[in-house]
């Protein structure tokens, strides 16, 4: 339907003439312009009657169409709504989820699925958790958002909980893991600048993943994510990549960065390591745990060069490893660690946590977030934190993680031409799809979905299992049974060809 917008303008064309009696006469012509948004070159001009008023004035009146209410938009075909209106930044499976309870999701055809994705390590308490629902309901009924210009009780309590249960001394709140990592990057750069370093470098690992914002993406050691986002062939400067768990490579790069090139020295500049930023366990990089030797070396090098050790806990943190934080698995203390995903149990919230000297770097005006740490998000995170304590969730993570690992290893032994190593911590586990299998991790995930089990790939050759932390023994057994049938079905299909 062609919408027409009418803009009425009273324009004043002053034609001045002096009569023998020296009277000034002003003729004012009013006109209306009608603009068609489809063809903006069309307009109509309608002169009004003349006026002898000497007042100079103009008025503008607009007529806009009524808003289209959401209730009038048909939802019978959700995929079609996405096709027409949603930016295609995701490769979606042909599945529309409409409800969930615990570790079970239900689609628009009333088919149930065992959820071993958990919103990609986010829904720690599963779906429709009563404690989380109650906390969110109560908070939004009272006060859901105010500015950080004022004290927010829930934010203060959540920060205290994080400090009491980690190495942190101070916490900055934001909305996501990428934002938390951006904050850590800014903190590291400012900390480094105070030492007179003009060219700070943050070392990250090959196959790492730190987020989709520009600096976090630049920190991500996977060139496939950089394509099309550079400037002059470069991403944000100041990042170097090392091989994960390779001690010699880490030592080599640190030594190289701490030597300022002569051309920089001549310009009065100084290069140095600002931070080493690592995931305790690489999630998107294929479920690869860090080694204690590697992280101990990273800690030592940071201490020797006054750099910060940053742990990206966005996926492995908040209990998924079997300890509250992944760095606890490695016996080291980071200067900064970041959290998000499971922190709010599915309600968006992120946190950058710092200790010691790193906790004193940022000052008022250095960093901010409109929504960060608002009452609603913090109430959700407090509910998650309370539930972890009240229901001994960390013990469940350890027990169910061991059960899941044993089951996956058994299936891998049974189908060695399809599956390889099983790796990970707690309830973040991955099983490798061997190169000779003739199938990708994504294809196996798709087959498992058709059997009622939701999984997610971690790269092209790792099937990732990340159930809610409340998963039961029976649900682990059911997931293993479905996955085994999926692999068996694929094997039988290949043998018949």
DSSP-derived secondary structure for 406-457? HHHHHHHHH-TTTEEEEEEETTEEEEEEPGGGS--HHHHHHHHHHTTEE-EE
Provide the token pair at 70.
């959401």
Give the model's pLDDT for residue 62: 62
Q: Quote the strand ranges of 252-366, DSSP E.
A: 271-278, 281-282, 288-289, 308-312, 336-339, 350-354
Closest Cα to residue 465, out of 477, 452, 455, 475? 455
Beta strand pairing call for 271-278 and 308-312: parallel
Task: Give the pLDDT band of residue 14 (cuts 50, 70, 90).
Answer: very low
For residue 257, how many other CB atoms are within 10 A of its CB?
20
Judge whether residue 39 has pLDDT over 70: no
Q: Quote the strand ranges of 11-53, DSSP E.
A: 30-35
Provide the token pair at 262.
């002569």
Of the two residues 8 and 185, the one the predictor is more confident about is: 185
Closest Cα to residue 135, out of 160, 165, 157, 116? 157
Q: Which CATH number fits domain 97-115+393-495: 3.50.50.60, 3.30.450.40, 3.40.50.11540, 3.90.1150.10?
A: 3.90.1150.10
Provide the token pair at 51.
């006026």
CATH code of domain 130-390 = 3.40.640.10
Dist CA 187 CA 202 (whole Å)? 11
Helices (H) and strands (E) in the chain, counts: 13, 20
pLDDT digits (tens, 9 = 90+) for 296-325: 999 999 999 999 999 999 999 999 999 999
28-32, 258-262, 440-444: segment of lowest average pLDDT? 28-32
Cα separations (Å) of 303 from 276, 296, 297, 339?
Answer: 11, 11, 10, 23
Dist CA 412 CA 43 (whole Å)? 72
What crossing angle do the helices spanning 473-495 and 441-450 adopt, rounded to 10°?
110
What crossing angle do the helices spanning 393-414 and 375-390 adopt, rounded to 10°?
80
Give the model's pLDDT for residue 54: 45
For residue 412, how many other CB atoms are within 10 A of its CB?
18
- Residues 119 and 337: beta-carbon distance below 8 Å: no
DSSP secondary structure letter of residue 201? E
DSSP secondary structure letter of residue 41? T
Of the two residues 113 and 47, the one the predictor is more confident about is: 113
Phi and psi angles of residue 75, each rounded to the nearest 5 degrees, phi first: -120, 20
Beta strand pairing call for 199-205 and 239-242: parallel
- 443 CB contacts (<8 Å, ≥6 apart)? none
Dist CA 431 CA 420 (whole Å)? 7
Task: Give the pLDDT band of residue 61 (cuts 50, 70, 90).
Answer: low
Dist CA 50 CA 219 (whole Å)? 68
Judge whether residue 11 has pLDDT over 80: no
For residue 253, how many other CB atoms are within 10 A of its CB?
20
Judge whether residue 230 has pLDDT over 50: yes
Provide the token pair at 25.
């006469």
Judge whether residue 27 has pLDDT over 70: no
Closest Cα to residue 117, out of 85, 134, 93, 137? 93
Distance from the Cα of residue 284 to its chain's centroid: 12
Dist CA 126 CA 186 (whole Å)? 33
pLDDT digits (tens, 9 = 90+) for 437-487: 999 999 999 999 999 999 999 999 999 999 999 999 999 999 999 999 999
Task: Give the pLDDT band of residue 57 (cuts 50, 70, 90).
Answer: very low
Q: Where do the CATH 3.90.1150.10 domains begin and end in the chain?
A: 97-115+393-495
14-18, 325-329, 332-336: segment of lowest average pLDDT? 14-18
Q: Which residues pair with 456 in a beta bridge?
A: 464
Q: Where do the CATH 3.40.640.10 domains begin and end in the chain?
A: 130-390
């Amino acid at each position: 339907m062609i919408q027409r917008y009418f803009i009425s303008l009273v324009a004043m064309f002053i034609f001045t003439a002096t009569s023998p009696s020296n009277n000034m006469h002003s003729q004012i012509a009013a006109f209306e312009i009608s603009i068609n948004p489809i063809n903006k070159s069309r307009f109509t001009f309608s002169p009004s009657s003349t006026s002898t008023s000497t007042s100079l004035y103009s008025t503008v009146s607009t007529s806009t169409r009524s808003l289209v209410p959401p209730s009038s938009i048909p939802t019978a075909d959700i995929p079609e709504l996405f096709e027409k209106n949603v930016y295609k930044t995701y490769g979606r499976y042909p599945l529309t989820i409409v409800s969930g309870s615990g570790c079970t999701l239900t689609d628009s055809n009333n088919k149930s699925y065992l959820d071993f994705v958990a919103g990609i390590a986010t829904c720690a308490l599963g779906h429709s958790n009563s404690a989380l629902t109650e906390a969110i309901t109560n908070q939004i009924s009272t006060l859901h958002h105010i500015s950080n210009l004022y004290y927010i009780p829930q934010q203060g309590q959540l920060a205290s909980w994080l400090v009491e249960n980690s190495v942190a001394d101070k916490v900055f709140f934001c909305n996501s893991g990428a934002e938390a990592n951006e904050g850590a990057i800014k903190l590291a750069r400012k900390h480094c600048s105070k030492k007179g370093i003009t060219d700070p470098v943050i070392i990250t690992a090959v196959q790492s993943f730190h987020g989709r914002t520009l600096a976090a993406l630049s920190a991500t050691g996977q060139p496939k994510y950089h394509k099309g986002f550079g400037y002059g062939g470069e991403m944000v400067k100041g990042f170097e990549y090392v091989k994960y768990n390779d001690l010699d490579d880490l030592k080599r790069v640190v030594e190289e960065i701490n030597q300022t090139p002569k051309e920089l020295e001549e310009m009065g500049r100084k290069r140095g390591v600002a931070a080493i930023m690592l995931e305790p366990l690489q999630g998107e990089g294929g479920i690869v745990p860090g080694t204690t030797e590697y992280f101990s070396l990273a800690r030592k090098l940071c201490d020797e060069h006054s750099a910060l050790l940053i742990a990206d806990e966005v996926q492995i943190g908040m209990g998924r490893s079997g300890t509250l934080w992944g760095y606890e698995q490695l016996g080291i203390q980071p200067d900064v660690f970041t959290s998000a995903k499971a922190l709010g149990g599915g309600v968006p919230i992120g946190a950058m946590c710092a200790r010691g000297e790193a906790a004193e770097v940022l000052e008022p005006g250095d960093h901010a977030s409109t929504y960060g740490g608002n009452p609603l998000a913090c109430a959700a995170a407090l509910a998650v934190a309370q539930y972890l304590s009240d229901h001994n969730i960390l013990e469940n993570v350890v027990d169910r993680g061991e059960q899941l690992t044993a089951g996956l290893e058994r299936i891998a032994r049974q189908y060695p031409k399809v599956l390889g190593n099983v790796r990970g911590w707690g309830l973040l586990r991955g099983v490798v799809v061997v190169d000779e299998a003739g199938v990708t991790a994504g294809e196996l995930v798709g087959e498992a979905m058709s059997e009622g089990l939701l999984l997610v790939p971690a790269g092209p050759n790792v099937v990732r299992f990340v159930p809610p932390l409340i998963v039961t023994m029976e649900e682990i057994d059911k997931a293993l049974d479905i996955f085994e049938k999926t692999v068996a079905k694929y094997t039988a299909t290949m043998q018949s060809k």
